[in-house]
């Protein structure tokens, strides 16, 4: 029996949908619910204007009233219980096995058992059972703890990740680094795992998810957070991370094109004064656009110009994510994309070709 070919598509692969898990009064957002819902509606509207959107929520009828009719036609609501809203980490991760899409359902344990995740850990299975992923296979990998925000794929067999997260306690304690690397290669058909030893953000609960620090923008391009203020607490760690990124090479031996994203000025929680993990690396690539987090600070304009220079073929849509970092995440953390598979991709490419004539 021949071994199946597995491809882990990059985020810029054409997508059929994105998932959001909506905030509610029984989540940690209860004291900021009105404010955070406005941000969610803005994100949801930007996505649904361009592609399908899956929303997990407690009350679909009430939520539907927040959207215009032309947006609603692209939204599918699923009433499923949730602890929190971070779909990047409890959402299903899609691979292609012999060109067929398969949803991987890993164990989500609240970032190493820091927070309750009993409902979140069931969302992907319940979405699949409800028919949200038509034409997809499903693989329950609940024996392995993995969050989508902890891995970046270039779509060509390379995964970028951090030791701080994947080797942390209370995730896969019984496995060595070599064991975990073997699992990643097996699950995702990866040929190379590039491990970052350095890099963190104050206030981050994820143990340095890669999507807060460095992101593939193409197979040969990595955008990363650079701290230029020597007195900032992040300066040394991010400088060392930058050195690691400069030492990485592509499969052909060439260095990566590295693009600096500015570090925001320190942003502090208004309630207790702790520093919040604001990062421009937490952007979302969707069909024809990049949704980009901003924080109402002096570095926003520079960051927007930088991301526009990378994605010159996509619309850059700024989203004010100031409220999101109050719960220690941002835009990418809230979302999970589901790529188009071959049959639908061929149809999509035909439509795109027709629209360009």
Condensed to tens digits (0 to 9), the pLDDT of residues 278-289 reads: 999 999 999 999
Q: What is the helix (H) or strand (E) element at residue 338, kind and residue range?
A: strand 335-339
Task: For residue 3, give the DSSP letter.
Answer: P
In total, the chain counts a number of residues equal to: 357
Q: Which residue, chain included where needed, has tokens 């699992």?
A: 183
CB atoms under 10 Å from CB of 77, counted, come to 17
Q: For the domain bounded by 6-348, which CATH number is listed?
A: 3.75.10.10
Residues of the chain with pLDDT under 50: 1-2, 348, 356-357
pTM of the model as a whole: 0.94
The DSSP string of 65-127 is TTS-HHHHTTEEEEE---S---HHHHS-EEEEETTEEEEEEEE--HHHHTS--TTGGGHHHHH
Instruction: State whether residue 171 is helix, strand or coil.
Output: coil
The DSSP string of 237-275 is HHHHHHHHHHH-B-TTSPBPEEEEEEPPPP-B-TTT-PB
Q: What's the CA angle centered on 298, arms 296 and 302, to 5 degrees?
A: 105
Task: For residue 2, give the DSSP letter.
Answer: P
* Residue 310, φ and ψ in degrees, nearest 5: -80, -45
Instruction: State whether residue 133 is helix, strand or coil.
Output: coil
Sheet with 192-196: strands ordered across: 151-153, 158-162, 192-196
Q: Write down the pLDDT at residue 4.
A: 78
Q: What is the Cα–Cα distance from 19 to 37, expressed in whole angstroms?
A: 15
* Residue (of 241, 276, 247) closest to 261 by Cα position: 241
- What stretches of the chain show up as alpha helix (H) in DSSP? 33-48, 60-64, 69-72, 87-90, 110-113, 123-129, 163-166, 177-188, 235-247, 300-310, 331-334, 342-355
Domain boundaries, the chain: 6-348
Q: Write down the pLDDT at residue 357.
A: 38
């Amino acid at each position: 029996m021949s071994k199946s070919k597995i491809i882990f598509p990059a985020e810029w692969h054409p997508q059929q949908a994105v998932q959001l898990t909506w905030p509610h009064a029984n989540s940690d957002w209860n004291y900021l619910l009105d404010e955070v819902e406005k941000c969610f509606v803005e994100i949801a509207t930007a996505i649904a204007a361009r592609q399908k959107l899956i929303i997990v929520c407690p009350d679909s009828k009430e939520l539907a009233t927040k959207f215009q009719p032309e947006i609603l036609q692209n939204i599918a609501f699923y009433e499923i219980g949730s602890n929190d809203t971070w779909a990047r980490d409890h959402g299903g991760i899609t691979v292609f096995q012999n060109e067929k899409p398969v949803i991987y359902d890993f164990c989500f344990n609240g970032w190493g058992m820091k927070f309750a995740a009993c409902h979140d850990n069931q969302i992907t299975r319940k979405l699949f059972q409800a028919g949200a992923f038509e034409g997809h296979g499903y693989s329950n990998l609940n024996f392995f703890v993995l969050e989508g925000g902890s891995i970046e794929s270039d779509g060509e067999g390379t995964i970028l990740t951090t030791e701080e997260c994947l080797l942390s306690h209370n995730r896969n304690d019984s496995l060595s680094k070599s064991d975990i690397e073997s699992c990643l290669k097996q699950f995702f058909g990866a040929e190379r795992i590039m491990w970052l030893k350095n890099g963190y953000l104050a206030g981050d609960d994820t143990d340095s998810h890669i999507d807060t620090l460095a992101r593939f923008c193409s197979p040969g391009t990595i955008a990363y957070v650079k701290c230029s203020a020597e007195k900032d607490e992040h300066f040394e760690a991010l400088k060392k991370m930058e050195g690691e990124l400069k030492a990485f090479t592509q499969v052909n031996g060439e260095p990566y094109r590295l693009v600096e994203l500015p570090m925001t000025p320190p942003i502090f929680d208004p309630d207790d004064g702790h520093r919040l993990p604001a990062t421009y690396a937490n952007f979302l690539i969707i069909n024809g656009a990049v949704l980009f987090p901003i924080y109402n600070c002096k570095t926003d304009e520079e960051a927007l110009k930088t991301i526009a220079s990378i994605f010159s073929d996509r619309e850059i849509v700024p989203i004010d994510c100031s409220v999101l970092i109050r719960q220690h995440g941002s835009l990418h953390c809230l979302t999970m994309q589901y790529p188009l598979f071959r049959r639908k991709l061929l149809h999509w490419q035909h439509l795109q070709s027709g629209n360009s004539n």
